[in-house]
Structure 1
Amino acid sequence: MRKKNLSKQLYDSAKSALIKELGLDKLVLDRPKSYETSFSEVVSGGRIDSDYFQVHFKQQANHLSMIQSKPLRELVDFQKGIEVGSPAYTSSGKLFVRVSNVKKTGVVTGNSDKYISETLFNSLVSYQPKIGDILLTKDGTVGVCYVVDEPVDGIISGGIMKLSKKDESLPSEYLALVINSPICQFQIDRDCSGALIVHWKPKDIAALKIPILTEDKMAELSDLVNQSKIAKKESEQLLDQAKRMVEELIEGAV
């Protein structure tokens, strides 16, 4: 439990430090009952739905414009996952990683997981995430980002993008941290606003503005996230050890 709490504290420290560095802690957002926009903003935004022009979106966009940033397409290459179709599902085999499996802390599994055969997996192995890849959800629960730090025995679905860095000087964990932060989440919310079925378009993903800090600061934040992940793994290892000890005690008693 202590290691688990430490992991959360380290990640929260990274989030808080990033928010402060970006000046978001001093940004007060307005949410008026009514608002208006100009025709030129409608044309430049390429949108006619009112949700896109909410005041708090404009305020955050103005704040972001004062921060050095780069579009995501300049930082990474993209690979969209693939849909195999429900007839391809099997009761066991290789994991078919869906949006619901991808969390900020890792690829999680559960009772509703879907699997594919070994044969199908081998034919689609290029969609298997490798350690160091960055996963980003684009459908349903959009904008969840995770740096793969453990082997994933499966392939990603079409609702997930796999990102590969173009610039190795940009820490992967910093990139994931900032995408999961309010400065990127507001852009994602704005892109997906007004839709009945939430779907983040590839062109909008590519245009996502990523704040670029000094190399020292990005490394510092990345290190906090890495320490958080280490503490999480140690917590899980201790829990597994405790479970095994209990099982051995029960078997010994029987």
Structure 2
Amino acid sequence: MIVLEIKRSKLGKLRRLDPEYYNPELLRLEKSLEGALSLGDFVDIRVGRTMNSDIKKGEFHYIKTGDFKEGGVDLGQCFRADNINGVDLKVSDIVITRKGSVGNAWLVNVQGGGALISSEVFRLRAIEDALIDSSYLAAYLESFYGQAQILRLQSGMSIMSISQADLRNVKVVFVGNKDEIAREYKLASDLLVESDKLNKLAEELFNDSVLFEKGGSNLRSGFKVGISEIKKNDNFDAQFFIIRSAIKNVVLLNEISEICSGTEVGVTNYQDGGVQFMRVGNITKCGFINKSQQYISKQLFQELKERYQPKQNEVLLTKDGTPGVAMVVTGDIDAIISGGIVRLKVGSSNISPYYIALSLSSKYGQEQIRALVGGSNIKHLKIKDIGRIKIPILSIEIMEEIAKLVQKSIKLRKRGLRLKKEVIKNIRI
């Protein structure tokens, strides 16, 4: 155990008592950055506002800390709000989380222009006439130098946060290859935007095809839904009932895939390195993320891999905690899945795992899952209920087109994330 002794005289005016503030490595970094410009010298920093928001109402996306994903913000899951004295965004602004998971940064793109931010988030906008490239600044804030300073300046007990004044004091260094870093970071951001566009195209093609196949388009003129149906489905969303009524040809998930549950290894088998133990928080519809990652020994992996290792072209689906998150395994993964995840081993040659994952992530799939979820404290799906989820069967051509769009979206996203990490790593002082 390492013990740091700090004299009272060294506490200064802040009287900070949290150990991280006096981390020797962070103190050395602070000293090395003396004389550098502060973020507040050339950037206007605003805190967002707490506003009434609703997932189905409002003209603008309303960004909170929970909307941040690896590589940016998931606008598709944002609540909506009306711009009544809200703090709005423009292209090339930078958004950074101030509360909860502090320090996540996003360079605002065309899709995010006009969005609003909550009180959990800061907006950074270059002061007029300030010669600063927002792409470089976003990369710097995500680099070791930006994140280390934010880590030291954040405070709190159960929920961490950073103050506006402290963020202004973050030191910024402009390295010699800053223009190259800005270009590469912008390219990475553009790849991620293109990935999101392709995934949205796939979702739109799915919804439109479901509505127009088998005469579903006739429902656009109107239809009736009984109160009992609304109560049964706990849903008042017209689009859900339109899609559900339009679908004439479906298969159950257990008819086209083998559903294999994960396992629990126990915390005593966790270790600092080794083979990944995938938990619910590591699964997103965009792929695997290294978040609060746990590891097990290679020996234990060898014992468990036959039953619990994710294989190429399988679909991973979360069933506990946050049920209904689906991702495609693009290649065999040296990992073991936890009990909160199931593997869907797709058996039909006519139905791509990419199409199944998109169907599960769609409004139609998510509403089915929501209706099947049980549990008062921790939400969960039973294996038998997962098998009852209905997958719409469209024409082979349409399903293949949807699968190709999803597959291309995933490839672009991987390229964008890989490039972004390389760029951030190349910032050296």
TM-score (norm 1): 0.81
Q: Percent identity?
A: 33
- Tell me what 2:398 maps to: 217
Distance 2:422 2:305 in 1: 33
Aligned partners of 2:240 and 2:363 also within 8 Å: no
**Measured at CA, do residues 240 and 197 of structure 1 come closer, stay the same or move farther in structure 2, by a change above 3 Å?**
closer
Aligned partners of 2:253 and 2:386 also within 8 Å: yes
- Tell me what 1:98 maps to: 279
Query: C-alpha displacement at 1:153, in angstroms?
Result: 2.4
CA deviations 1:149-188 (Å, max 9, x no partner) are 1442210001111011111110111110010001111111
Which has the larger Rg? 2
**Measured at CA, do residues 15 and 36 of structure 1 come closer, stay the same or move farther in structure 2, by a change above 3 Å?**
closer
| Secondary structure in 2 matching 1:221 | helix
Aligned partners of 2:253 and 2:391 also within 8 Å: yes
The answer to which structure has the higher helix fraction is 1
Query: C-alpha displacement at 1:105, in angstroms?
Result: 0.8
Is it true that 1:198 corresponds to 2:386 in the alignment?
no
Distance 1:6 1:59 in 2: 26
Distance 1:28 1:150 in 2: 45
- Tell me what 2:370 maps to: 189
- Tell me what 1:12 maps to: 200
- Tell me what 1:21 maps to: 209
- Tell me what 1:44 maps to: none
Aligned partners of 1:75 and 1:165 also within 8 Å: yes
Aligned partners of 1:57 and 1:190 also within 8 Å: no
Aligned partners of 1:64 and 1:183 also within 8 Å: yes
2:351 is aligned, of 136, 158, 170, to 170
Query: C-alpha displacement at 1:132, in angstroms?
Result: 1.3
1:85 is aligned, of 243, 262, 266, to 266
Aligned partners of 1:52 and 1:194 also within 8 Å: no
- Tell me what 2:339 maps to: 158
Between the two proteins, the alignment pairs up a number of residues equal to 233
2:253 is aligned, of 72, 92, 95, to 72
Unmatched segments (≥5 aa) in structure 1:
42-49
Query: C-alpha displacement at 1:20, in angstroms?
Result: 2.0
**Measured at CA, do residues 194 and 136 of structure 1 come closer, stay the same or move farther in structure 2, by a change above 3 Å?**
closer
CA deviations 1:93-126 (Å, max 9, x no partner) are 111101111100111112x222111111111012
1:118 is aligned, of 298, 307, 326, to 298
**Quick one: which amino acid aligns to residue 164 of structure 1?**
K
Give the root-mean-square deviation of aligned CA atoms. 2.9
Aligned partners of 1:103 and 1:144 also within 8 Å: yes
- Tell me what 2:31 maps to: none
| Secondary structure in 1 matching 2:387 | helix
**Quick one: which amino acid aligns to residue 69 of structure 1?**
V
The worse-fitting range, judged by mean Cα deviation, of 206-215 and 51-60 is: 51-60
Query: C-alpha displacement at 1:238, in angstroms?
Result: 2.4
1:228 is aligned, of 388, 409, 425, to 409
**Quick one: which amino acid aligns to residue 328 of structure 2?**
V
Distance 2:231 2:274 in 1: 43
TM-score (norm 2): 0.50
